[in-house]
Structure 1
Amino acid sequence: MTFTLATWNINSVRLREALVARLLEEESPDILCLQECKSPVEKIPRERFEALGYRHMIARGQKGYNGVAILSKLPIREVSALDHADLGHARHVSGQLENGVTIHNYYVPAGGDVPDREANVKFGQKLDYLTAMRDAFRAERPEKAILVGDLNIAPREDDVWSHRQLLKVVSHTPVEVAHLGETQEAGSWVDVTRSHIPEGQLYSWWSYRSPDWDKADKGRRLDHVWATPDIAGAAHSSRILRPVRGWEQPSDHAPVLATFDL
């Protein structure tokens, strides 16, 4: 089986329904994992996506916040929807394809603006969430699995526009990078995107605050595709669809894609 998987923080699936449909029409990934859907599951515009061939959906939702969904052309059955750190947030759903591959779709907490657990509850929640992810992978090491989503951390120096200037900015602080590294190591996850694009600046997010995001190019790679070692070698053709960030009324994230021959 060969399939292409895409992950995209859509920043409201109902507001950007037309953009999701455009991506499905133009790129036609077999599987699309969405984060920050900001919608109860029953209000996700499923009919439009079904009409484009995405007849299978598993999701967890909340009104106005968080939310994750997996749209698939391929049959997929729900495996789990974990509430790491007991936050009561819709931040994870996983499903299994008929070939036995499990797909985890994650939306890690952003962490607020102040990188200090004592001064900022949200930052503490982010670290606790990552710790819980790590512990889950240590308890049951994943096999034949893919993990995607907005992990809200740019781990490498070349995953941000300025390593020096962002060392004290949430998403690139050493403590966050260390937590993400422990989570990745706990599952022996392979960073598929960087396996295929090992060198150079690489971003998937550009702030709405920039009046000319494309020219300024102050981006961060917050969105990731990982795979367990037993299937990571089957992945190829990773790419980030930067032009999507320039669509009308866009999300501040661009989709990240990879193809797997399994």
Structure 2
Amino acid sequence: MTRKKEKKENPSNKALLEDEDEIVIDDSKEGTSKEQDDLQAKIEVQDIKLIEGEEQKVLEYYSKDNFIEEIKILEESNKKKDEQLLKYQTESDDWKNKYTRLQAEFENAQKRWNKNRQNLRIEYTASALKTFLPLYDSFKKALENSDENQVILKGFFDQFINILKYHKAIPIKVKVNDTFDYNYHEALSSIERDDLPNNTIINIIQDGWKLDKEVIRYAKVIVSRVPPPPEPEPEVKAELEEEITQENKESEAISNENEKEKQQETEKADKETVEPEEKNQ
């Protein structure tokens, strides 16, 4: 690598010299000594800068081999940087995928926790309210059987119902002639009824309650069932039995006759086979 110094004429100095001529011309016209002194000071400053070499430019010259070597070095460095960039990009994508999966798992786990917590809350509330339902039954029976203190009992009963409804417990709606539903009703017994379809509620023994979608207590009811068909009369039954026995006897007689005919045919065939043998002897 060689360096070559080249002196160039400073364009700023040249401009200053041209300006000097113009200023000198102007000074000759104006005849002021102050401007001439300023111009002289500027020229001296430019000369000092040229002497110190502050504005000299140094040019560097390279050979062809040096250029090729520098290009190879730059290509290798760029290749390494590209590989490193690709590595960092893949690592970034991996971390991004891991973060996305973890975020999805966390959201799913949070949903499961909230659902389980809600189910536990409903379950515990239902078990607590279930212990107060006998008090509801007692209030209801007292209202149905009492005439004197019905107003006082009605106030207590309404207050108790409001407490249950405050905890989102509601009675199961059921009435007579409704169809029996296994999800909300419990059949204590069944009665034969000709005028009603099968599994029709004919009496309500105890009210049912539910909390949200969970049943606290099933409604206890009595349902109807269709009676079985009447049995045939004895005379008709006897006639049927006689017809059946007669048909059985006829079939037995026919089968016996068929067996006799088969036996006769076999005996006849045996005789026919025995006679030729005797003749041959």
Q: Which has the higher helix share?
A: 2
Highest relative contact order (Cα 8 Å, sep 6+), 1 or 2?
A: 1
Which has the larger Rg?
2
TM-score normalised according to structure 2 size: 0.19
